[in-house]
Structure 1
Amino acid sequence: MLGELLRPIGPGAAGWADRLIGEFGSLGAALAAPPAAQQRVLGEEQRVVAWLATLRSAMLHALRREALQGPVLGDSDAVTDYLFAAMAHEPVEQLRVLYLNTRNRLLLDETVIEGSVNVAPIYPREIVRRSLEVGATALILAHNHPSGDPKPSREDVRLTRLVATAGEPLDIRLHDHVIVARSGWISLRAAGYL
């Protein structure tokens, strides 16, 4: 598949695809890899890296549009697919917040924190403050685990509960916190942590 996607760039498509899949393991991981990592694999093939960035942007745009055009809670599978594609293969932890209105329509999708390979600090006060700025009445938190295991840590659960508690007096509801990783995802609400 990756070879076919790279074919418009030139006759080296099959070789580029083999090198990328060999390094990153899958089409999704190859597309999600940072440009610098792709460049290390491909050498001087800067046009291939630019093409991969365009492909990834198109894929995320399509998934985001499908997932977030109506009420977000109306199609949780589409939202999870979008979050998985956007974050599962990122090399560092990110915290993304989906700010929703009273009809659960998206007001803002924002990456609020980029951390290290295993830490993305969550600041409940800042999340609630930003919710008030954009007029959000509900939130969905999402972050990734670059380790590949979506299992929440004690700190993930503790901070999620702090965000939920901080929003309550201001009528800002935390609908869920989704953790994504290469091996899958977990909803803290479905798992009983919220």
Structure 2
Amino acid sequence: MQAIAAFKAGLTHVTQYRAAERPLLTNWQALLDYLHVDMAHLAVERFRVLHLNTRNMLIRDDVITEGTIDHTPIHPREVVRRAIELGSAAIILVHNHPSGDPSPSRSDIDVTRNVAEVGKRLGIAVLDHVIVGASGHVSLRAQGLI
């Protein structure tokens, strides 16, 4: 088990480096690989925010909260507050579904739209909300949900 944990840690580090070495929007597959390695097989939901500068370079990858097997509480105020603290021009929301199915719930869509609305008023763009599961990922932007 220790060898598996060490391998996962190494793979996470390599994919994180690949995701951070260029603007995220031009290195989307590296970002998805990193998120999948790190989040696809977690036993509980984890919500993170990727903070970007005006060139879409990663400023910070923040884990905001961890929840239960099917829920993690998100407060738009806290997401946007942290983005302001870091001077983020844009953010990408990310969370996982431990069930393996990355399909967005009604709650996922509502939270995304609420964060986007608050962010827009303060000049912080929500570029996407990616949901990661063992079977793949879903981009709410690509689905036309934000």
Which amino acid is the alignment partner of residue 191 of structure 1?
A: Q
Q: TM-score, normalised by structure 1?
A: 0.74
Q: In structure 1, how many angstroms separate the alpha carbons of the residues matched to 2:5 and 2:99? A: 23
- 1:57 lines up with 2:57 in the alignment: no
Q: May I ask how many residue pairs the two structures share in their alignment?
A: 146
Q: How does 1:61-100 map to 2 (within 5 A)?
A: 61-100=13-52
Could you tell me the percent identity over the aligned residues?
Answer: 48
Match of 1:150 among 102, 116, 123: 102
Q: In structure 2, how many angstroms separate the alpha carbons of the residues matched to 1:168 and 1:99? A: 15
Q: How does 1:117-132 map to 2 (within 5 A)?
A: 117-132=69-84
Q: In structure 2, how many angstroms separate the alpha carbons of the residues matched to 1:141 and 1:162? A: 12
Q: CA deviation at 1:188?
A: 0.2
Structure 1 or 2: larger strand share?
A: 2
Q: Which runs of 5+ in 2 are unaligned?
A: none
Q: Which runs of 5+ in 1 are unaligned?
A: 1-48
- Tell me which structure has the larger Cα radius of gyration: 1
Q: TM-score, normalised by structure 2?
A: 0.97
Match of 2:130 among 178, 181, 187: 178
The answer to whether the 8 A contact 2:8-2:37 is kept is no
- For residue 193 of structure 1, what is the aligned residue in structure 2? 145
Q: Root-mean-square deviation (CA), in Å?
A: 0.8
Match of 2:118 among 145, 153, 166: 166
SS of match in other structure, 1:83: helix
Highest RCO, 1 vs 2 (Cα 8 Å, sep ≥ 6)? 2
Structure 1 or 2: larger helix share?
A: 1
- 1:111 lines up with 2:67 in the alignment: no
